[in-house]
A and B are shown apart, each in its own frame.
Chain A
Amino acid sequence: MAVEHPMQSSTIVDVLEKILDKGVVIAGDIRVGIADVELLTIKIRLIVASVDKAKEIGMDWWETDPYLSSKASENNTKELEEENKKLHERLESLESKMSTNRLNTSENQ
């Protein structure tokens, strides 16, 4: 198939999009709402933006998971570092724009 994953980060986004945003809701006793999937995804992508970092913390399982990584291409470390830097700047500006408690969790039912 010519369907490619240009970077592992796209699969990270896929995973987070699904588990933080979706999944069946059967009310638990402990209510934990995720208010801003977008911002959390950006934050998480930042910390796994570097493959080395991912390996270091043992989160490189998707490299061998046929479901997720079939086409993870070679990563260019320098490019990633540059991207990481840019994202940090963007994240900072995003965060400063947000009200202090955007990530607050949902209330008890």
Chain B
Amino acid sequence: MENLIYLYGLLPTEEVTDKPLPSVKGFDGKGSIYTVSMNKITAVVSDLNPADYSEELIKDKIGNDTEWLQEKAFHHHEMLTALYKKFTIIPLKFCTIYKNEESMRSTIQSSKEKVEDSFKLLKGNEEWNLKIYCDDNTLKKQVSENNPTIEAKKKEISELPRGRQFFENKKIDQLIETELENEKNRVCERVHEKLKEYSLHAAIKKNWSKDVTGLKENMAWNSVFLIPVAQVERFLEEVYQVEEELGESGWRFEASGPWPAYHFSSFS
């Protein structure tokens, strides 16, 4: 039976001709990675034995074997990171597998223009991720002390008869929660808009829950930027300044990168 082909990513052929690929083991941990060239596009692949990597087996592993998934997911990322250090690369989604080389060639051929456009977009630019975390308790304290809406409400309550004060004070907690969320969005949007100035493209992603991040603070913002190499330093300097300005009040800014352009090379 013919070997299956695991596709990691796509490189511009012109870059591959003068630099060798890193010599590393492929997805099954046995065979090595190799390239398949289609004119301007070169695919980085490794072979898989169809008996070990059938659709059913892979589905089963992903659903039921977390250690396997973790190992393979990190392998995929590690490979792309190694390639990213030397080449312009379009990272493929985890577990993109073809029945044979012919099938892969024809699929890639049909997306040829999009792939070549992505190479142009990515060359000379870096993908960075910014996650903003916030200690809600610290911030809540400030909001309840310094927020004009809440200030006004408190004043209003203090002028009420005592019996009603009790109930109105209960409501104020809710108001503080709302104002806290508003304040968080205001800060994050301001930072995002500022950082966008350094980037070609920016996108806002979903925030992950504390179950996912394993952190004590809430994730308040999660965004990605495609930044020209020459601007990266200034982007990071800006993040640093924002951290200086807001770090005391419970905010934390986590920029990471450069990443293989998982986000900005996307096309459907």
Contact = CB atoms under 8 A, between A and B. Distances in A.
Interface in A27-53: 27-32, 34, 38, 40-49
Contacts, number: 171
B77 A13 contact: no
Contact of A7 (B76, B215, B262, B266): B215
Interface in A44-66: 44-49, 57, 59, 61, 65
B227 interface: no
Given A18-B263, A34-B62, A13 B213 contact: yes
Nearest to B76: A19
Interface string B114-129: 0000100000000001
A10 interface: yes
A67 B262 contact: no
B166 interface: no
Interface in B234-268: 236, 239-240, 243-244, 247, 252-259, 262-263, 265-268
Contacts of A103: 62-63
Interface residues of A, number: 55
21 contacts: A1-B236, A9-B213, A9-B214, A17-B208, A19-B93, A24-B267, A25-B96, A26-B107, A28-B97, A29-B4, A30-B53, A30-B95, A32-B62, A42-B212, A47-B70, A57-B67, A61-B78, A67-B259, A90-B211, A104-B63, A105-B62
Contacts of A87: 211, 214
A94 B211 CA distance: 10
Contacts of A105: 59, 62-63
A65 B76 CA distance: 15
Interface of B: 4, 7, 10, 53-55, 58-59, 62-63, 66-67, 69-71, 73-74, 76-78, 80-81, 90-99, 103, 107-108, 111, 118, 129, 131, 205, 208-209, 211-215, 236, 239-240, 243-244, 247, 252-259, 262-263, 265-268
A1 B214 contact: no
Contact of A22 (B93, B211, B244): B93
A101 B70 CA distance: 20
Given A7-B215, A18-B263, A19-B73, A32 B59 contact: yes
Interface of A: 1-7, 9-11, 13-20, 22-32, 34, 38, 40-49, 57, 59, 61, 65, 67-68, 83, 87, 90-91, 94, 103-105
Q: Which 7 A-B pairs have the closest CB atoms?
A: A23-B93, A22-B262, A30-B97, A28-B96, A18-B262, A32-B95, A103-B63
A29 B98 contact: yes
Contacts of B58: 30, 32
A27 B107 contact: yes
B214 A7 contact: yes
Contact of B259 (A18, A38, A43, A44): A18
Contact of B66 (A14, A19, A24, A47): A47
A52 B243 CA distance: 32
A10 B213 CA distance: 6
B214 A26 contact: no
A86 B67 CA distance: 20
Given A18-B262, A24-B266, A83 B256 contact: no
A42 B67 CA distance: 12
A30 B258 CA distance: 30
